A and B are shown apart, each in its own frame.
Chain A
Amino acid sequence: EIVLTQSPGTLSLSPGERATLSCRASQSVSSSYLAWYQRKPGQAPRLLIYDASSRATGIPDRFSGSGSETDFTLTISRLEPEDFAVYYCQQYGSSLTFGGGTKVDIK
């Protein structure tokens, strides 16, 4: 099973700042089959990025994904108030597993 480790566990930032979230895989993720989701309390998760760097429909361009093999990054270029949430990565190259999540909260 591919284990995904997200860091940091919590990221405390101010609106307008840049957020960089990391997702590290225990082995190479084939074909960069990695997705990112945003989850807010009481809401269903929202797909942000798939195939490591493709933005899902309707996702603002301040969200970007990058990386390959074992190291992946989600970047939010300038945090908006609605971006404070928990973010999960998920790989689908070998079965399906999620990372433990990174909480982005207001500093």
Chain B
Amino acid sequence: QVQLVESGGGVVQPGRSLRLSCAASGFTFRSYGMHWVRQAPGKGLEWVTFISYDGTNKHYADSVKGRFTVSRDNSKNTLYLQMNSLRSEDTAVYSCARDPTLWGYDSNYFDYWGQGTLVTVSS
């Protein structure tokens, strides 16, 4: 079955960097686009970024553009999120999610999600 397991969260000071990972299994990772979605404490869901199946097409939310970078290693079935210049408002649970479109270049919706990893930005 499809499994997505995030790691790399923790407490980090404002202005610092953190890299999250998402290990995928149970499906052909290299065939699907992937997303990161976050949920701040007590708030709703916010889409963060999308990467196409081959890594050539990437989209970002305005709130993270220029600070966050999404990447993937299809040989390791792993998705990454490099977060730089972190702010207190980036505090959230970050989840990776699969886009359902096979060989998709554009972002759609999410058919499988991970449980998430908590990132806390605080001095």
A residues bordering B, Cβ < 8 Å?
1, 33, 35, 37, 42-47, 50, 56, 88, 90, 92, 95-101
What is the total number of residues of chain B having a CB less than 8 Å from a CB of chain A?
Answer: 22
Q: Which residue of B lies closest to A57 (CB)?
A: B111
Query: Are A92 and B109 in touch, CB under 8 angstroms?
Result: yes
7 nearest interchain CB pairs? A44-B113, A35-B109, A96-B47, A98-B45, A100-B44, A92-B108, A47-B111
Number of inter-chain CB pairs below 8 Å: 56
Additional A-B contacts beyond A44-B115, A50-B111, A98-B44 (15; CB < 8 A): A33-B108, A35-B110, A37-B110, A44-B114, A45-B110, A45-B113, A56-B111, A90-B47, A95-B107, A96-B35, A96-B47, A99-B44, A100-B44, A101-B44, A101-B45
